Structure 1
Amino acid sequence: MSELLSWVFAVLFVLVIIAWYLTYTAARLDRLHVRLTGTLAALDAQLVRRAEASLELANSGLLDGATSLILATASAESLENPGEHGEIREVVENDLTEALHHSITEPTCAKIREAGPLGVDHLDRLRSTCTRVSLARRFHNDAVTDVRRVRRKWAVRLFRLAGHTPMPLTVEFDDELPPGLAA
């Protein structure tokens, strides 16, 4: 009888440890998904700020007409669908980055700086927002990597701890600073 009781307690102990592990893993996965939502919202906010700063520079009169039009068009496209994610958003953001690279060259920056403090303010704001976009994208992609790593564990898959939440994807687009701002 005491041997049977020992086995029952051993089995109960193992079941409690398994239940604790599953609960801990589910809570951790939930925290990672919350973090992922936060990093995605931060990335969206920074992308909107970059597009707004680009649009303000395009409309400031400090650039020539063709450059202003190219930059304003790319900025407006970026602002059209804030919060939308996926391949379309990545293409739009790549287009804005490309427009910035063609518009904000070193000679153009020098000319804008010579225009006075307004031009310097526009360039500083644009540099700041471009840097923040790069950081926000890295933070988001790190959060995606963490979620994917936990979701690959056998216990998460076997017990469906992630529920029906789709597997998160990294956000990939060119977020390099324009050459004129890097100096």
Structure 2
Amino acid sequence: MGWWIALAVIATLVVAWAYFTAQRLNRLHIRTDSALQNLQASLDRRASLAEALVPEAEAAARAILAMDYPVHALDHRARAEERLEGILAGMPVPRQVVDASARVELARRFYNDAVTDTRALRTRPAVRVLRLGGTAPLPVYFELPSAREGRESRANPEERPEGA
């Protein structure tokens, strides 16, 4: 009779672990989705500023803003952003665009951190066997070209704050 109780306790512990792990995974997916929305908003803001303030980047920025990027097509967005970054890399840019680029980098880091945490839990063998991730797609990383050196030094001197 004692082994039935032990089996019931073990089964209860496994079910409780699965329940709490599924909740944690759900919160991680929500965090990842929120970080992705913030990243897309930051990218859109930088493209809008580049379109308005940098005539040489107007066409590339307009192309980015005109396209509808579904969540699963982050690689297409990264390629479009790489083209814009290539245009901005060779010229002095207004301070607003530099600040927007810094916000993009922060948003990218937050998103990739959320993806790392979500993937770490989703790829555990027990989570995969029990299918605790449900039907949600495994999130993917968003990589932009590495930050260009001297971004701050390329800002227009008249746009720099005093003392910079």
Length-normalised TM-score, structure 1: 0.77
Q: Distance in 1 between matches of 2:144 and 2:88?
A: 14
Shift of residue 124 of structure 1? Answer: 2.5
The alignment-based identity, stated in percent, is 32
Shift of residue 56 of structure 1? Answer: 1.3
Residue 139 of structure 1 aligns with which residue?
110
> Secondary structure of 2:144's match?
coil
1:141·1:171 contact (CA, 8 Å) conserved in 2? Answer: yes
Q: Distance in 2 between matches of 1:127 and 1:178?
A: 12
CA RMSD of superposed structures (Å): 1.7
Residue 161 of structure 1 aligns with which residue?
132
From 5, 11, 30, give the equivalent of 1:9: 5
Shift of residue 103 of structure 1? Answer: 2.7
Residue 75, structure 1, aligned to residue 71, structure 2: no
Shift of residue 149 of structure 1? Answer: 0.5
Q: Which one-letter code corresponds to 1:7 in the other structure?
A: W
Q: Distance in 2 between matches of 1:15 and 1:159?
A: 14
Residue 40 of structure 1 aligns with which residue?
36
Shift of residue 86 of structure 1? Answer: 2.5
Shift of residue 178 of structure 1? Answer: 6.9
Deviations 1:100-145 (A, max 9, x none): 11232xxxx6xxxxxxxxxxxxx22112100000010111111111
Choose between structure 1 and 2: higher helix proportion: 1
Q: Which one-letter code corresponds to 2:124 in the other structure?
A: K
Once the two structures are superposed, the pairs formed by residues 1-183 of structure 1 within 5 Å of their partners are 4=1, 6-58=2-54, 68=55, 70-84=56-70, 85-104=73-92, 123-174=94-145, 176-177=147-148, 179=150, 181-182=152-153
Q: Return 5+ residue gaps in structure 1 as ranges.
A: 59-67, 110-122
> Secondary structure of 1:144's match?
helix
The structure with more radius of gyration:
1
Shift of residue 159 of structure 1? Answer: 0.7
Identify if the C-alpha distance between structure 1 residues 174 and 135 changes in structure 2 by more than 3 Å, giving closer, same or farther: same
Length-normalised TM-score, structure 2: 0.85
2:98·2:151 contact (CA, 8 Å) conserved in 1? Answer: no
Deviations 1:24-46 (A, max 9, x none): 11000000000000000000000
> Secondary structure of 1:21's match?
helix
How many residues were matched structurally? 152
2:36·2:111 contact (CA, 8 Å) conserved in 1? Answer: yes
1:101·1:178 contact (CA, 8 Å) conserved in 2? Answer: no
Q: Return 5+ residue gaps in structure 2 as ranges.
A: 155-164
